[in-house]
Amino acid sequence: MQDGRTTLSKFLIDTLDRQPSTVSTSGLSALLVDVAASIKTISAALTKGALGGHYGSAHTVNTHGEEQKTLDIVTNDIFVQHCEWDGLLAGMVSEEMDDVYAIPAAYPRGDYLLAFDPLDGSSNIDINGVVGSIFSVLRVNRDAPDAASVDTAFLRAGHEQVAAGYAIYGPATMLVLSVGNGTHGFTLERDVGNFVLTHSDIRIPEDSGEFAINASNERFWEPPVRRYVQECKDGRSGCRARDFNMRWIASMVAEVHRILMRGGVFMYPRDFKTPEMEGRLRLLYEASPMSFLIEQAGGCAITGRERILDVVPERLHQRVPVILGSKNEVVRIRRYHDEYDRGADKPYTSPLFNERSLFLPEAPV
Ligand code: AFP
């Protein structure tokens, strides 16, 4: 560009369309421009706040049994309307839709699959807090035996994503994106309507003194997570010999964004509160895309026991435990899980935190 700035369109053309590649990325930049258009439209709607007339409950529940806000539905429709017509998608999956959204017959079908959470952290809406949108793009595997089924086409490990990103609607609206060559941040220039590259090749510090977890669930955590958090809380007088800070914004987008900007760890771990101990967050449109962005920025993302990007989903709306962020902290937490599973953490585990603890409502499986 003449003014030396890189817009999202220029970035995508340079990165995807003008690079020799063994994997076809044809149409991916156009799809991401449509996703970015959804984000701009959502940003404009959110900026109106209570004046936009979209506050409050929609008095419906989504596939997870959660009450839907009016804005959950409005933002879902914005994504669908911006992306269904362009001939690039074979189907869409969203937190707010029970089943795969098939592309209407009026539009051509393409080779990409889009999974999204249109409004992450929607409990923050009514308090004018930070919210976001998360998206993941896969390419249909035409060689798969069941390639004709759009439902099963989505059930692929996160390392197969061809693009992932989120929008954060804070004081500024940003789009943070990876197409597999690092994680890059674009800031919306509202008066012009362009996303401009402002955070190129984001790197997460390997060490950190900040963690994020919903501490009200402490009694449901597994011992390795209790051990890690207790050691952080012990501060400089404990075995970590340093003081830690804690944050909780109730929006995964806001937590991940902070970690990308200055490091830290985010945890929504396996616990005894959630059904079948699967965790709270959804794999396809929350954990997978965020893990892709974190790894592309030099961080790590695990369930506690395995890399999130290697988890193959069995269901569209499957949940998964999530621990992600600064590499050395996540590696430490994985070691704690491993030691616990091998029974090798006894010197560290307080009797209050073991399987027989009165603090656990039921025996772990
Ligand atoms: P929504 O996508 O339904 O708004 O949920 C947000 C979220 O899944 C995630 O972004 C937060 O980390 C988490 O929920 C916050 O949940 P609690 O604060 O209720 O534990």
pLDDT of residue 276: 74
Question: What residue spans in the chain does CATH classification 3.40.190.80 cover?
Answer: 210-359
Of 63, 125, 251, 274, best ligand 1 pocket probe by most atoms within 8 Å of the beta carbon: 251
- Ligand 1: centre distance to CA 121 (Å): 5
For atom 17 of ligand 1, the residue with the nearest CA is 250
CB of 285 sitting under 6 A from ligand 1 = no
Residue 357: the pLDDT is 46
As a whole number, mean pLDDT of residues 234-238 equals 96
140 lines ligand 1 (CB under 6 A): no
Provide the 10 A C-beta neighbour count for residue 268.
23
The CA distance from 134 to 116, in Å, is 5
Residues of the chain within CATH 3.30.540.10 domain(s) are 8-199
**d(C-alpha 182, C-alpha 109), whole Å:** 29
Q: Which residues in 109-128 are b (16+ Cβ under 10 Å) and which e? A: bbbbbbbbbbbbbbebbeee
Confidence of residue 356 (pLDDT cuts 50, 70, 90): very low
Burial of 214 from C-beta contacts in 10 A (0-12 / 13-18 / 19+): middle
Instruction: Report which of 306, 309, 305, 316 is spatially closest to residue 340, judged by C-alpha positions.
Output: 305
Per DSSP, helices labelled H in the chain are 8-12, 28-47, 70-83, 150-153, 223-234, 252-262, 288-296, 327-341
* Mean pLDDT, residues 94-104 taken together: 94
Query: What pLDDT shows up at residue 364?
Result: 40
In ligand 1, the atom with minimum distance to the C-alpha of 255 is 12
Mind giving me the DSSP string for 126-148?
A: GGT--EEEEEEEEE--TTSTTTT
String of DSSP letters for 300-351: EEESSSSBGGGPPPSSTT-EE-EEEESHHHHHHHHHHHHHHHTT--TTT--G
The predicted model gives 106-110 an average pLDDT of: 94
Instruction: Reply yes or no on whether the pLDDT at 6 is more than 60.
Output: yes
* 324, 259 contact by CB (below 8 A): yes
Chain centroid to Cα 304, Å, comes to 16
pLDDT given for residue 147 in this prediction:
60
Can you give the pLDDT at residue 41? 97
- Are residues 265 and 208 in contact, defined by beta-carbon separation less than 8 angstroms? yes
Q: pLDDT tens digit string along 135-158?
A: 999 999 877 766 667 778 999 999
Question: For the residues 240-252, what does the mean pLDDT come to?
Answer: 97
Chain centroid to CA 276: 21
pLDDT mean over 294-320: 97
How does residue 359 score in pLDDT terms, banded at 50, 70 and 90?
A: very low
Nearest to 119 by CA among 130, 132, 108: 132
In this prediction, residue 347 carries a pLDDT of 55
How much is the pLDDT for 18? 79
Q: Which two tokens stand for residue 205?
A: 């510090």
Mean pLDDT of 240-267: 97
Average pLDDT over residues 40-52: 92
**Ligand 1, atom nearest to 251 Cα:** 10
- CB of 251 within 6 A of ligand 1: the answer is yes
What is the rounded average pLDDT for all residues in the chain?
90
Residue 61 Cα to ligand 1 middle (Å)? 15
- Please give the CATH topology (third level) of the domain spanning 210-359: D-Maltodextrin-Binding Protein; domain 2 (3.40.190)
Ligand 1 midpoint to CA 30 (Å) = 30
| Domain spanning 8-199, CATH class | alpha beta
Residue 363's pLDDT is what? 37
- Residues facing 147 on adjacent strands: none
Choose which residue among 217, 249, 281 to substitute to test ligand 1 binding: the one with the highest number of ligand atoms within 8 A of its C-beta.
Answer: 281
313 in contact with ligand 1, CB cutoff 6 A:
no
Query: Per-residue pLDDT averaged across 111-139, rounded?
Result: 95
CA 66 to ligand 1: nearest atom? 3
Better pLDDT: 3 or 358: 3
Among candidates 311, 270, 298, 30, which has minimal Cα distance to 161? 311
- Residue that has been written with the tokens 């017959």 in this structure: 105
> Residues 166-211: pLDDT tens digits?
999 999 999 999 999 999 999 999 999 999 999 999 999 999 999 9
| CB of 72 closer than 6 angstroms to any ligand 1 atom | no
Instruction: Return the ∠ at Cα 97 (arms to 92 and 102), rounded to 5°.
Output: 35
- Is residue 169 within 8 A of residue 43, CB to CB? The reply is yes
Residue 268 alpha carbon, nearest atom of ligand 1: 12
pLDDT attached to residue 59: 74
Ligand 1 nearest atom to the CA of residue 64, by list position: 3
